[in-house]
Structure 1
């Protein structure tokens, strides 16, 4: 996606999509890791916390975006229904 973005004259509109892909890819990588988490200092926990913060900020931003109609705001967020 970053290569595609670089090929566009103005690919800045893909920044959020790339961030989503980077965060979900990192999360999947951690969940697929067969090594157990043995203590709270495991760096994977910090990565997961950072990903949680990104999703939380996204949720707050989408809910507060006045450019999106109230009825459309819920469509801007991931839901359990969209994952099934």
Structure 2
């Protein structure tokens, strides 16, 4: 499963959600709000329990941080223009 790069849309959905919330309620809500398939898959893999805040949920979503370093790899040390 590919890791999503931007979880801010999910963070906004969860910020407006009432907690505690069940896994099923969380998955249904992010699906309705149009979360990408990687996020929905990660949330479906969460344990079936009550979640008490957005941070507890966000821990289950892997974030692709390797892509953030990609532009740096293409630049030489002397080139600071980008």
Does the pair score TM above 0.5?
no
With CA pairs under 8 Å and 6+ residues apart, which has the higher RCO, 1 or 2?
A: 2
**TM-score normalised to structure 1 length:** 0.32
**TM-score normalised to structure 2 length:** 0.33
Task: Give 1 or 2: higher helix fraction.
Answer: 1
Task: Give 1 or 2: higher strand fraction.
Answer: 2
